[in-house]
Amino acid sequence: MGKTRLYKAIYEITRAINSSLEPEKVLSRIAEKVATEMNLKGCFIRLLDRSGELLLADASYGLSERYEKKGPVQVSKSRIDQEVLKGAILSIADVRSDDRFQYPEEAAKEGLVSLVVLPLTARGEKVIGVLRVYSGEKREFSEEELDFLKCVADLSGLALENARMFHALKRASELANDYIYRVDD
C-alpha cells in the first residue's frame, strides 16, 4: 500500500466522518474504506456496551452475515480484546494457531487467517471499542499499514465522540426548549 494511496484513503475517511453525525453510517463507510483500500477480507468495528463486559457489533464490511451475527464478544473470554482494551495493538499472522481467539471455529469457517486489532479511543484516553481487520491469507502487516490503521482507529473514536456530543447537545436543547415552553404557559 503506497503512501499516496494511504493519504487518499485517510482523506476519504475524513470526508465520510465530516459528512454525517450518524455513527452507524460513518463507521460502516470507514469499515468499507479500510477493507477495500488494504485489500482485506473484512473489517469489523465493535463498541463496548455500558457495562464494559461486551463488545457489540457496530459496523462491518466484507464478512458474511453468519459471521457478523455470531454473537457479542465477551471481554472476559477474549484475551485478544483484553489486551487491546488496555491500549495494545495486536497483529496475529495466523489466527488458526492462536488460542486467544474467542470464536476460532467461526473464524476458520469464514476463512480468516491474519488479524490486526486496535483500540478505539475517545478523547485520546478512554477505550470505547476495537477496530479489527482480517486477511484471508497469511499476511504480515507493515509498520506503514499499522500506522494507517492506528490513524483510522483514532479518527473512528473521534467520529463517535463528536456524534455523541452532538446528540447530547441536541437533547439538552430540546429539554431547555420544553422547559421554556412550560414556563411561558
**What mean pLDDT do residues 171-177 have?**
88
Return the pLDDT at 162: 85
Residue-wise pLDDT tens digits, 131-140? 999 999 999 9
Phi, psi values for residue 93, rounded to 5°: -70, -35
Return the pLDDT at 80: 93
| Angle at alpha carbon of residue 150, lines to 28 and 98, rounded to 5° | 90
Top pLDDT among 140 and 166 is at: 140
* pLDDT of 43 over the 90 cut: yes
**What mean pLDDT do residues 16-27 have?**
86
Return the pLDDT at 86: 93
Residue-wise pLDDT tens digits, 76-121? 999 999 999 999 999 999 888 888 877 788 888 999 999 999 999 9
Record the cell numbers describing residue 122, joined without a space.
Answer: 475517545
**What mean pLDDT do residues 148-175 have?**
89
Which of 4-18, 44-58, 156-170 is most confident? 44-58
* pLDDT of 159 over the 90 cut: no
Residue-wise pLDDT tens digits, 55-68? 998 899 999 999 88
Q: What is the pTM of this model?
A: 0.85
